Chains A and B, each alone.
Chain A
């Protein structure tokens, strides 16, 4: 049997595809929910940085955000994943499904990046917009929600898209805590046939297609948002 036949047999006749589908699902779940958590955390963290410093609490939260961002940007994703799986959760006595652990780790990590993206997005909105809102008597919060954030989000969509793509590809490290993701499922196929070319090329192509799909979705969203300002 040649390489292709070996792969074909393993994938279809020996039902390797079931494994691949599970892996694909896991990859998607971790990336999508991870980004969602990351957006929530990121927006909260960015807020602590943007709010004009008035009191000690905000000052403290802003400092805490800096530490958080440094830690999660300063260490490799795999290390964070291993620490959460083998150290943090056991130490706290928390038992959650493996997949949730991965989602948590990626969400926390992504939050650090998204907070910086959101902060940049908000800062990129001209300060005159806030001033105009405040001068009309709108509160800081109202001005943010009605005027600044809609413009900030439009500015950050491309960068957020990048973050999602990076996240999607980085999910391949979850096999370190024995989760079967897309990469792991193809690794299994390769290992059982001792034939590497076909599975890994197919794997690469699948990632490529996924990223292309995501890219076109981002482009679509961007165009939607741009349409509203008819530039």
Chain B
């Protein structure tokens, strides 16, 4: 469903992600763990383009969300001026060798000619999807909740579905009412976020994502900013969604929760995926040295 292909992310001089690829299948609950600064949140944020990957592509349901990355398309590289130049300079090299050299040494520049531009545009035209459309299908829950401070709880839940014309006002309100009842916060519908506790805010942030009827939800450390006694109520809600079969990607530090809810655990360190396995195997038989060290510290 979500497919991440060879993503690199650089912030100025710091490279946070260095070639990450992974697939999230329908109904999977993938938990991403790793030391702080390892790039796990960045990976999650690249999935819905809150961070634009420096290189690489993100696909959602077979649609290209990022601009096409020429390095992932050998036939595009072959239309570039750089390729022509190298082919002239090394008449004995095979096309594959030249393409490999260009990929390895990051040789493509900004001006690579019309054919190259057209080839990229063709890929985009055939596969591209508007990012705002993609985001409607991928809910996101933030560490710091990010409820809209100027809107009441009810307005928070209704804003996007109504503005995007996915629902009429009545439909959106009905859905929001149902969701609020579900988490037992219907009596807070007219409150502003500043009057809610952290746990309440986060649960409302989760149903705000649900109000869009998303195909998947991305959780970015959903319990890290909560007081300890509120972590439980938020995890309970996420657990419920998991049991209902919602596709999820969760970045978290809650190892017990990861083991319980995840169908697959990904360990990210130094911008790479170092290990990837179902929870039982992941925690019982870690193979990567860094992961062993990490688990010995957090478990």
Give A contacts to B, CB under 8 Å. 126, 128-129, 131-139, 142, 146-147, 150-151, 154, 228-231
Contact = CB atoms under 8 A, between A and B. Distances in A.
B266 interface: no
Given A136-B212, A137-B132, A229-B194, A131 B146 contact: yes
A229 B149 contact: yes
A137 B194 contact: no
Q: How large is the interface on B (under 10, 10 to 19, 20 to 34, 35 or more residues)?
A: 20 to 34
A145 to B, nearest CB: 10
A231 B48 contact: no
Interface stretch (B114-122, B159-167, B229-237): B159-167
23 contacts: A126-B146, A128-B142, A128-B144, A128-B146, A131-B142, A133-B148, A133-B160, A134-B50, A135-B138, A135-B139, A135-B142, A136-B135, A136-B136, A136-B140, A136-B160, A137-B134, A138-B160, A142-B163, A146-B148, A147-B151, A154-B150, A229-B150, A230-B195
B203 interface: no
Contact of A230 (B134, B135, B160, B192): B192
Contacts of B147: 132
B87 to A, nearest CB: 33
B150 A150 contact: yes
Interface in B170-214: 191-192, 194-195, 205, 208-209, 212
Nearest to B148: A147
Interface of B: 48, 50, 132-136, 138-140, 142, 144-151, 159-160, 163-164, 191-192, 194-195, 205, 208-209, 212
A224 to B, nearest CB: 13
Across chains A and B, which 4 residue pairs bring their CB atoms closest together, nearest first? A137-B136, A132-B146, A128-B146, A135-B140
A229 B212 CA distance: 25
Contacts of B146: 126, 128-129, 131-132
Given A128-B145, A131-B142, A132-B205, 11 more contacts: A132-B148, A136-B136, A136-B139, A136-B164, A137-B136, A137-B160, A150-B150, A154-B150, A228-B150, A228-B192, A230-B192
B2 to A, nearest CB: 14
A147 B189 CA distance: 18
B281 to A, nearest CB: 32
Nearest to A153: B150
B135 A134 contact: yes
Contacts of B148: 129, 132-133, 146-147
A2 to B, nearest CB: 59
Contacts of A150: 150
Nearest to A142: B163
